[in-house]
């Protein structure tokens, strides 16, 4: 192209566009105004020229955003003047999906919300279904649930500590946390058949009994954790850098927690011993002896200490579970609810055993039809609504289920603690450095799968 032709293209048109008629003019869309590259942006920058603040996006793809979370931060230098959490990047529509499945099939969805505590989600969901049905599960099934919930709590707290340590630059803290979490996942796989998303806890009880060697395997796990948990104190608790990065950071007093609906370790770090296992016992938690650790520091360091202590308390509960477990049924006897009825596993570890198949096929045609309809159509739940909360590793996890008298939920809504607790981040981080916001966010411990669901 000749110099003359270039001049023709770039010659100003006099309308302020600066690049000639081939340049698209600004236009308004449903998402806002799209500006051209000269005139209007110049006006915008000129208007902001006297403001030293800058807005940055922190996340949703960032190694310290504690998951798929976006923070819109208004910064004055390194100081945060305004913080806005932006959620929804991990939305999966799980609540709505549950409304198109049978009551039992919903257990395979809810475990994928808070994927660090899948057994807590399954328990709260199934307890709400059982409340609508007006049934009580067998005692052995209750104790198995408690055993699994406390193992689940330990695994979640280990992941919290590991992720927080990684975000603070303490990579050794991350590696030992993930090492212990593998012990948790191995144990859950041995007890339920899967490392995660188990669908083991089901309406009416649990899918099957524990393996014959469960007592020895769980006791071995307890011995390993008793030996390794003190390593967190040796490595991190007294470490000056770790303490200085967390102490006094992410401060949130008890009145702010109550105003924002914050629960779990954040609330207990502010001095309020609110734990649903104690204040509103379920699954026989009132029979167990354990402490609810609290602190008055209300900062990130206190939340770290509480989670370490809560793992010790969970081990206490697990020991008591083993002592209380006695032989008995693990699913309600009602054949119209128990699904799949009297499940037994074949020698390959998959599916029903041949004896179970022969039992069904050898009975009357009515029995076979009933089994088929129970699995494909599900059982009927009386019309009504129920709300059941449990104490998850992050706070109050509640399931509100509505039934219209059919074989699937009319409405499923979850009070997810990650979503509620994230409201506290601006109060924790505004006025602080961006590095302190990372520490505060890690101490909140949001799981975005549950937040966005």
Tens digits of pLDDT across the chain (453 residues)? 444 443 443 444 444 444 444 445 667 777 666 655 454 445 544 554 556 778 888 878 777 777 788 888 888 888 888 888 888 888 889 999 999 999 888 898 999 888 899 999 999 999 999 999 999 999 999 999 999 999 999 999 999 999 888 888 888 888 999 999 999 999 999 998 888 888 889 998 898 889 888 999 999 999 999 999 998 888 899 889 999 999 999 999 999 999 999 999 999 999 999 999 999 999 999 999 999 999 999 999 999 999 999 999 999 999 999 999 999 888 888 877 876 545 555 555 555 566 666 666 666 566 677 777 777 888 889 999 999 999 999 999 999 999 999 989 999 999 999 999 999 999 999 888 988 999 999 899 899 888 888
Identify the DSSP state of 49: T
Q: What is the pLDDT of residue 52?
A: 72
Closest CA to 43 of 24, 23, 26, 55: 26
Pseudo-torsion of CA 219, 222, 223, 226, nearest 10°?
A: -160
Residue identified by tokens 């796990």 is 221
Residue 159 and residue 161: Cα distance in Å, rounded? 5
- Determine the 3-state secondary structure of 202 from DSSP: strand
Residue 379 and residue 339: Cα distance in Å, rounded? 9
Q: Are 103 and 90 in contact (CB under 8 A)?
A: no
- Determine the 3-state secondary structure of 388 from DSSP: strand
Backbone angles phi, psi at 27, to 5 degrees: -150, 160
The token pair that represents 453 in the structure block = 């669901």
pTM: 0.83
Q: What is the pLDDT of residue 322?
A: 94
Residue 192 and residue 223: Cα distance in Å, rounded? 21
Q: Are 38 and 135 in contact (CB under 8 A)?
A: no
User: Residues near 322 by Cβ (< 8 Å), separated by ≥ 6?
Assistant: 147, 215, 218, 219
> Which structural domains are found in the chain, ordered by start?
1-9+17-49 (no CATH), 94-335+351-452 (1.10.645.10)
Q: What is the pLDDT of residue 80?
A: 87
Residue 229 and residue 452: Cα distance in Å, rounded? 32
Q: What is the pLDDT of residue 386?
A: 94
Residue identified by tokens 């690049």 is 19
Residue 142 and residue 301: Cα distance in Å, rounded? 34
What does R_g of the chain's alpha carbons equal in angstroms? 27
Q: What is the pLDDT of residue 15?
A: 44
Cβ count within 10 A of residue 181: 19
Closest CA to 215 of 163, 143, 152, 149: 143
Q: What is the pLDDT of residue 43?
A: 56
Closest CA to 233 of 181, 308, 313: 308
Give bridge partners of residue 439 from the DSSP assignment: none
Closest CA to 67 of 75, 76, 59: 59
Helix (H) or strand (E) holding 194: none
Q: What is the pLDDT of residue 3?
A: 43
The token pair that represents 78 in the structure block = 């390194």
Q: Are 226 and 315 in contact (CB under 8 A)?
A: yes
User: Residues near 421 by Cβ (< 8 Å), separated by ≥ 6?
Assistant: 262, 263, 264, 266, 394, 395, 444, 445, 446
The token pair that represents 216 in the structure block = 């020895």
* Number of helices followed by number of strands (H, E) in the chain: 20, 10
Helix runs in 134-264, H state only = 139-168, 171-192, 214-228, 230-232, 240-246, 254-260
Q: What is the pLDDT of residue 346?
A: 53
């Amino acid at each position: 192209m000749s110099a003359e032709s270039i001049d023709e293209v770039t010659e100003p048109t006099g309308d302020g566009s600066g690049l000639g008629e081939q340049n698209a003019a600004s236009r308004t869309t449903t998402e806002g105004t799209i500006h051209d590259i000269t005139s209007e942006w110049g006006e915008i920058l000129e208007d902001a020229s006297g403001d030293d603040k800058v807005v940055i996006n922190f996340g949703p793809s960032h190694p310290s955003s504690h998951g798929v979370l976006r923070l819109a931060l208004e910064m004055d230098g390194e100081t945060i003047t305004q913080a806005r959490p932006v959620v929804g990047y991990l939305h999966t529509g799980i609540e709505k999906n549950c409304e198109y499945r049978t009551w039992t099939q919903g257990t395979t969805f809810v475990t994928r919300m808070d994927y660090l505590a899948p057994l807590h989600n399954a328990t709260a969901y199934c307890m709400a279904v059982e409340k609508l049905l007006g049934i009580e599960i067998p005692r052995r099934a209750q104790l198995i649930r408690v055993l699994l919930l406390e193992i689940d709590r330990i695994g979640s707290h280990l992941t919290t500590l590991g992720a927080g340590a990684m975000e603070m630059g303490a990579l050794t803290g991350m590696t030992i946390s993930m090492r212990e979490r593998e012990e948790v996942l191995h144990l859950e796989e041995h007890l339920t058949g899967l490392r995660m998303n188990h669908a083991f806890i089901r309406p009416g009880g649990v899918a099957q009994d524990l393996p014959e060697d469960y007592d020895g395997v769980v006791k071995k796990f307890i011995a390993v954790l008793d030996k390794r948990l003190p390593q967190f104190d040796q490595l991190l608790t007294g470490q000056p850098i770790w303490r200085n990065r967390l102490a006094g950071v992410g401060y949130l007093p008890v009145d702010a927690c109550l105003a924002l609906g914050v629960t779990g370790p954040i609330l207990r770090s502010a001095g309020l011993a609110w734990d649903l296992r104690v204040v509103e016992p379920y699954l026989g938690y009132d029979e167990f002896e354990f402490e609810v650790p609290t602190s008055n520091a209300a900062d990130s360091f206190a939340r770290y200490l509480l989670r370490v202590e809560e793992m010790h308390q969970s081990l206490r509960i697990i020991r008591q579970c083993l002592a209380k477990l006695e032989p008995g049924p693990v699913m309600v006897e009602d054949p119209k609810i128990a699904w799949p009825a009297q499940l037994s596993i074949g020698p390959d570890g998959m599916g029903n055993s041949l004896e179970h198949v022969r039992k069904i096929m050898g009975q009357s045609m009515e029995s076979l039809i009933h089994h088929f309809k129970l699995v494909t159509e599900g059982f009927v739940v009386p019309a009504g609504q129920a709300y059941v909360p449990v104490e998850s590793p992050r706070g109050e996890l509640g399931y509100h289920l509505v039934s219209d008298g059919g074989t699937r939920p009319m409405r499923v809504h979850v009070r997810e603690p990650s979503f509620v607790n994230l409201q506290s981040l601006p109060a924790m981080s505004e006025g602080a450095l961006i590095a302190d916001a990372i520490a505060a966010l890690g101490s909140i411990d949001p799981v975005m799968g549950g937040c966005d669901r």
